[in-house]
């Protein structure tokens, strides 16, 4: 007997004493590394989803890892039989919205006005020479998400997109949401989270079909924690009431005039030009970060007369409501349930994920699966569909309880029971709480503004998850408000769009700097009705307007 080792869906019989890294290499699987298995770079991480007990004990270079993460170069198959399943940090295959849709035309009418310019063979950043070259002048826009990192490479002279890429944020070993990352970073000083991410970014940038040294500027957006970890700022204060980043605190003390950050390419540990500028767009306040700020730029909020709302549903859901005259923003700690986290059969939107579900007349489940493979799990949009269908067919009530004391609903039966895809009542509980946080955020922001949902002219659902949601199902379970569907725009990745605009236009970047200073931060934790809104929002029923606060 031997242990069957499955890495990224490919299997091999582990018969000798090689490491997981070596087996992966033998199967042609690309595992990130910069140290060639010395245990130093920390990039060769895998997540073990089955068979942890058949692996060698944690080695010293892995002591920074929590949960089911291992360094593949330090991990050996120790058991005599069984099955070990693991995967590398995913790149490229996820269904990622790299673009935005349905945004105002006005936001594409800005003049190309980058900070990096050419004067003969001199290349200048804000008029200061950084290089002598006649080669291209390139830049990168980056959306640094808690779960996913998206990069866009553009030509700064023509504004054209050259390439884009995405990968799973390898900082997941420090927890799946921002509070865990803050705790991890505080308990493991030494910038481990940043160094691991820098390694992955380096590989991604080196794979672009250009000389990385021709990249002279980078615009980084992300929530306050992700951005500040990247810029090696302490994130401790973001995790403590009143949840402020170092830059926000310093600005309040008059020590700085903006919450934006900048550092050189060299200091960023990236292979771009060493004198390149890496600009971290300003955060708004608290957990409402630079990604939300970039969304505002993408929807052209500075020039918007109409009343709009932007909702980016994620581990932290960002909400922005207003127009050029008044803007309110909030961040809702929804947790990772709608991204498949903390759900028994949850998974990201990868091949094998059930992304849509219908229940037929005969009661059978009709799952729509990503890729030409059998279902392996269920991703966020599939979960929304499933909840909606269970409600519609009366198999679940609006409190999230299954009928007839059923504990588990199987929507796909595999060859063996361990391959079944199912939903537990405890999963529904997790989803209810995530939804409750989002709905509470909506009610708190709208009531603080003094408007109700029907006053909104356009409701942008931003982000990849929002792009793929079934709107009617989302309304039925109360994930999005019961608005006329014609008002809802599934806009895709507005954060990367905003980052790109800031990269290509100095004047738009200045507009953003000014805009964030005008945003009122709606602190959900201090809203007097937040708890009531939350309890109400945990129920699976349409979200209707509540009477406005006076
Ligand atoms: S390959 Fe560098 S730590 Fe494993």
Question: How far, CA to CA in Å, does 152 sit from each of 140, 182, 205, 255, 490?
Answer: 5, 27, 10, 33, 21
CB of 282 closer than 8 Å to CB of 295: no
**What pLDDT, on the 0 to 100 scale, is given for residue 424?**
95
pLDDT of residue 98: 53
Q: What is the pLDDT of residues 490-529, one digit of tens each?
A: 998 899 999 999 999 999 999 999 999 999 999 988 899 9
Averaged pLDDT for residues 63-84? 89
Please report how many Cα atoms fall inside a 13 Å half-sphere around the Cα of residue 137, on the Cβ side: 26
pLDDT digits (tens, 9 = 90+) for 230-250: 999 999 999 999 999 999 999
What pLDDT band is residue 144 in, cutting at 50, 70 and 90? very high
Which atom in ligand 1 lies closest to the alpha carbon of residue 71? Answer: 4
pLDDT for 264-305, tens place per residue? Answer: 999 999 999 999 999 999 999 999 999 999 999 999 999 999
DSSP, collapsed to helix, strand or coil, labels residue 245 as coil
Predicted structure pTM score: 0.88
Kindly indicate the confidence band of residue 8, based on its pLDDT and cuts at 50, 70 and 90: confident
The pLDDT confidence band at residue 94, using thresholds 50, 70 and 90, is: very low
Q: Which atom of ligand 1 is nearest to the CA of 37?
A: 1
Question: If pLDDT is split at 50, 70 and 90, which confidence band does 102 have?
Answer: low
166 DSSP β-pair partners: 150
Checking if the pLDDT of 216 tops 70, the result is yes
Alpha carbon distance 293, 139 (integer Å) = 20
Q: Is 71 in the pocket of ligand 1 (CB under 6 A)?
A: yes
Strand order of the sheet with strand 261-264? 161-168, 148-155, 138-144, 215-222, 277-280, 261-264
Q: Ligand 1 in contact with 43 (CB < 6 A)?
A: yes
pLDDT for position 93: 47
CB of 35 sitting under 6 A from ligand 1? yes
Confidence at residue 124, expressed as pLDDT on a 0 to 100 scale: 98
CA–centroid distance, residue 43 to ligand 1 (Å): 6
Label each residue of 330-351 as H, E or C: EEECCCCHHHCCCCCCECCCCC
User: Whose C-alpha lies nearest to ligand 1, atom 2?
Assistant: 41
Ligand 1 near 62 CB (within 6 A): no
Q: What is the band of 97 on the pLDDT scale with cuts at 50, 70, 90?
A: low
Tell me the CA–centroid distance for residue 38 and ligand 1, in Å: 6
Report the share of the chain in percent with pLDDT over 90. Answer: 71
Mutate which of 24, 25, 41 for ligand 1? The one with the most ligand atoms within 8 Å of its CB, which is: 41
Q: What gap in Å lies between CA 461 and CA 491, rounded to an integer?
A: 6
263 Cβ below 6 A of ligand 1: no
Q: Single out the residue of 162, 163, 164, 155 nearest to residue 112, CA to CA.
A: 155
Binning pLDDT at 50, 70 and 90, where does residue 42 land? confident
Task: Write out pLDDT tens, residues 420-476.
Answer: 999 999 999 999 999 999 999 999 999 999 999 999 999 999 988 888 899 999 999
Segments in 396-470 forming alpha helices (H): 425-449, 463-468
Q: How far apart are CA 151 and CA 212, in angstroms?
A: 13
Q: Which amino acid residue places its CA nearest to atom 1 of ligand 1? A: 37
CA separation for the pair 157, 160 (Å, rounded): 8
CB of 44 within 6 A of ligand 1: the answer is yes
Choice from 32, 33, 64, 89 to test ligand 1 binding pocket (greatest atom count within 8 A of CB): 33
Residue with CA nearest ligand 1 atom 3: 39
C-alpha 296/C-alpha 460 separation (Å) is 11
Q: Is the CB of 409 under 6 A from ligand 1?
A: no
**Residue 42: CB within 6 Å of ligand 1?**
yes
User: What average pLDDT does this structure show over 61-68?
Assistant: 86
pLDDT for res 550 = 39
372-418 pLDDT, tens digit each: 888 989 999 999 999 999 999 999 999 999 998 888 999 999 887 87
Question: What does the pLDDT read at residue 549?
Answer: 44
pLDDT band for 108, please (50, 70, 90 cuts).
low
Take residue 301 and report the two structure tokens written for it: 């909020």
310-339 mean pLDDT: 91
Tell me the Ramachandran region of residue 62: left when phi exceeds 0, alpha when psi lies from -120 to 50, beta otherwise.
alpha
Given a cut of 80, whether residue 96 has pLDDT beyond it is no
Burial class of residue 123 in the structure, from the number of CB atoms within 10 Å of its CB (0-12 exposed, 13-18 middle, 19+ buried): buried
Query: Is residue 166 predicted with pLDDT exceeding 90?
Result: no
Are 500 and 151 a contacting pair, CB within 8 Å?
Answer: no
Degrees (nearest 5) of the Cα angle 117, 118, 122?
Answer: 125
The pLDDT of residue 100 is 60
**CA dist 122 → 18, 116, 118, 125, 127 (Å):** 52, 11, 6, 10, 10
């Amino acid at each position: 007997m031997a242990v069957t080792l499955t890495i990224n869906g490919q299997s091999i019989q582990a018969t000798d004493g090689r490491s997981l890294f070596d087996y992966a290499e033998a199967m042609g699987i690309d595992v990130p590394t910069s140290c060639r298995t010395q245990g130093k770079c920390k990039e060769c991480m895998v997540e073990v989803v089955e068979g942890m007990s058949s692996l060698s004990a944690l080695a010293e270079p892995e002591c920074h890892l929590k949960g089911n993460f291992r360094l593949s170069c330090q991990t050996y198959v120790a058991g005599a039989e069984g099955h070990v399943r693991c995967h590398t940090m995913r790149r490229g295959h996820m269904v990622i919205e790299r673009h935005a849709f349905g945004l105002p035309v006005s936001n594409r009418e800005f003049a190309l006005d980058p900070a990096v310019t050419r004067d003969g063979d001199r290349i200048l950043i804000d008029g200061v020479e950084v290089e002598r070259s006649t080669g291209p002048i390139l830049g990168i826009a980056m959306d640094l998400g808690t779960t996913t990192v998206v990069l866009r490479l553009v030509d700064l002279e023509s504004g054209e997109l050259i390439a884009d890429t995405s990968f799973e944020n390898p900082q997941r070993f420090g927890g799946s949401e921002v509070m865990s990352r803050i705790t991890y970073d505080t308990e493991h000083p030494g910038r481990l989270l940043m160094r691991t991410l820098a390694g992955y970014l380096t590989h991604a940038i080196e794979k672009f079909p250009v000389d990385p040294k021709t990249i002279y500027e980078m615009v980084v957006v992300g929530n306050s924690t992700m951005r500040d970890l990247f810029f090696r700022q302490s994130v401790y204060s973001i995790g403590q009431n009143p949840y402020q980043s170092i830059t926000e605190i310093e600005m309040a003390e008059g020590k700085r005039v903006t919450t934006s950050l900048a550092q050189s390419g060299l200091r960023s540990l990236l292979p771009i030009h060493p004198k390149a500028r890496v600009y971290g767009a300003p955060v708004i306040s608290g957990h409402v970060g630079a990604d939300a700020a970039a969304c505002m730029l993408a929807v052209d909020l500075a020039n918007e007369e109409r009343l709009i709302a932007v909702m980016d549903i994620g581990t932290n859901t960002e909400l922005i409501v207003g127009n050029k005259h008044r803007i309110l923003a909030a961040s809702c700690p929804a947790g990772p349930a709608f991204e498949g986290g903390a759900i028994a059969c949850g998974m990201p939107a990868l091949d094998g994920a059930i992304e849509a579900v219908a229940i037929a007349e005969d009661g059978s489940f009709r799952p729509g699966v990503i890729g030409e493979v059998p279902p392996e799990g269920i991703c966020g949009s599939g979960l929304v569909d499933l909840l909606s269908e269970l409600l519609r067919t009366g198999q679940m009530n609006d409190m999230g309880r299954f009928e007839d004391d059923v504990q588990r609903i199987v929507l796909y039966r595999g060859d063996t029971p361990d391959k079944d895809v199912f939903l537990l009542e405890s999963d529904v509980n997790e989803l209810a709480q995530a939804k409750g946080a989002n709905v509470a955020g909506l009610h708190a922001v709208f009531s603080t503004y003094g408007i109700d949902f029907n006053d909104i002219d356009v409701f942008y659902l931003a982000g990849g998850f929002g792009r793929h949601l079934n709107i009617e199902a989302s309304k039925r379970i109360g994930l999005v408000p019961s608005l006329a569907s014609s008002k809802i725009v599934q806009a895709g990745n507005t954060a990367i769009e905003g980052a790109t605009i800031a990269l290509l236009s100095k004047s738009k970047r200045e507009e953003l700097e000014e805009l964030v200073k005008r945003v009122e931060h709606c602190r959900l934790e201090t809203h007097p009705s937040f708890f009531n809104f939350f309890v109400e929002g945990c129920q699976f029923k349409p979200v209707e307007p509540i009477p406005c606060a006076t």
